[in-house]
Chain A
């Protein structure tokens, strides 16, 4: 599983209220949620994000509400992977469940700047910064987690018989 994209970077404690403000929770339509993703922290996010882009953040990413709309909005906006120093626990669980790839890696967060071209090889646990030429080691993604993500989330994986 390899992801390629440009980095979009944020700080610590990015909460679910800025990822998808509650005023938009009267829908569960993925595209509509994506159209408001990050708008309270970064008005330009939806304009600059391109399919495959990689979000980089600090500590405690996704803190706050249990709304699954948050990882759904990020994924539907085109983000392929979120790399943070740490994730809030409900967000972590929700992301895997809906099929959004996420991983923790301090070195990558330190060594990647906004706009850098990033390649993440999750089979081998290596993240490359193609702009600076640096690379960072991380834990390889376990096979069953990769299967959940490749198949679009836990429920789709159960449906397809990948996870029993």
Chain B
């Protein structure tokens, strides 16, 4: 039976020779992830089940990133609950303030995911690790609790949509534009319950970080996972960070896909998703004059060093427009340090931006950049739902780091080609 990349990984982890779409399988987990919002709920459920220990202290991972550094007393209580749990169970990979970063940037950076892995995380953007050729997907806290206790999770094997990439991206166009373009095309439920599989010669022209951004937003098309074929770049990235052995899976030539899209990367332009859905995409010929109050550059989607570099290149020697607040959030401590050492932080501060410690903060309207009614933000984050970054009458426009930086300078949504 011909299989997709995703199906092969699930079959292997279920101990089966083959699986087909629709089949229910129980799979072994290589990693179970939670954060400071979802883990407390999972810990309560874990205790309710009567579990006394985690299935593998090296495979359970908790990252304090959403409301950490603690934004208020309640957040402090939630982080403490995670800390106490990880201490009690001697969890190896517990990342607190000082070591933490935004989870989906941190795990790849620390070498905690390798090609062929199965990862569940109680955070919807867990799909990010598909960029490294792993099967990873978001689940709720109950699934996290059962995963921590048993090391297993059940899945319905997904069917898939294939995206064949060709060509190369133009200057100032990046992974964010690719995924926004795709979501604009197929819609926020265009891949509901399915895998998105990215293949073709165009993959090679995308950096690992572009791929992480693309897989990260597979969930915004409703997908179960978004996975890339492994190439030399993936192998180099992973080997630098992990000495675990891994398997790179490719789809069978005759694997069945529900749909196939050909995407010519050279035709993709800077793309912005208008409120209040990631599918409301426009290119600059349809944008017009939209004044903004805030810019956020960061998040699990676009807080990588490469993203900061792209923003800094545009902001260098320029000033953030009057009455615009520009907030830059490196996704991890390592990225932050590198940005300090290489002068990016200086560039940002001289331009009039603030640079924050890693946190999910503003992306989900937690803290560190909340919007008032009537305010607009251009953000490199992943969701622009009603009230996502603050008041229900505020607006979020999703864009690449290059567009966000250009917009900060212009005081309105602007193309990097304009500033």
Which residues of A are at the interface with B, using a C-beta cutoff of 8 A? 13, 15, 17-18, 21-23, 25-28, 40-41, 59-60, 63-69, 72, 86, 88-90, 93-94, 97-98, 153-156, 158-159
Contacts and interface: CB of A to CB of B under 8 A. Distances in A.
B142 A65 contact: no
Nearest to B46: A155
A88 B189 contact: yes
B188 A13 contact: yes
Contacts of A72: 41
Given A26-B67, A68-B142, A97-B142, A90 B41 contact: no
CB-CB nearest 3 A-B residue pairs: A94-B140, A26-B74, A97-B142
Contact of B192 (A40, A89, A153, A155): A89
A156 B192 CA distance: 29
B45 A66 contact: no
Contacts of B11: none
B123 A155 contact: no
Contacts of B122: 66, 68
Given A23-B366, A97-B143, A60 B192 contact: yes
Given A40-B387, A88-B189, A153-B142, A64 B67 contact: no
Contacts of B41: 28, 68-69, 72
Contact of B146 (A15, A98, A154): A154
Interface residues of B, number: 46
A89 B142 contact: no
A13 B278 CA distance: 11
Given A17-B388, A22-B365, A60-B189, A159 B222 contact: no
B138 interface: yes
A154 B142 contact: yes
Interface in B171-192: 188-189, 192
B142 A98 contact: yes
Contacts of A21: 365, 387
A17 B124 contact: no
Contacts of B392: 40
Contacts of B48: 155-156, 159
B interface, over-half SS: loop
Given A72-B41, A94-B139, A155-B45, 17 more contacts: A13-B277, A17-B386, A22-B66, A26-B37, A26-B74, A26-B75, A41-B386, A63-B188, A63-B222, A65-B123, A66-B121, A68-B41, A89-B192, A94-B140, A94-B142, A158-B49, A159-B49
Interface of B: 37-38, 40-41, 44-45, 48-50, 66-67, 71-72, 74-75, 78, 121-124, 126, 138-143, 145-146, 188-189, 192-193, 219, 222, 224, 277, 364-366, 383, 385-388, 392
A125 to B, nearest CB: 20
Contacts of A90: 124, 138-140, 219
Contacts of A154: 142, 146
B140 A88 contact: no
Contacts of B383: 15, 17, 64
A72 B37 CA distance: 14
B375 to A, nearest CB: 16
Nearest to A70: B140
A86 B38 contact: no
10 contacts: A15-B383, A26-B71, A65-B364, A66-B126, A68-B122, A86-B192, A89-B192, A93-B143, A97-B140, A155-B49
Given A18-B387, A97-B142, A60 B364 contact: no
Contacts of B365: 17, 21-23
A86 B49 contact: no
B363 to A, nearest CB: 9
A146 B146 CA distance: 20
Nearest to B40: A28
A93 B222 contact: no
Contacts of A15: 383, 385-386
Contacts of B146: 154-155
A66 B49 contact: no
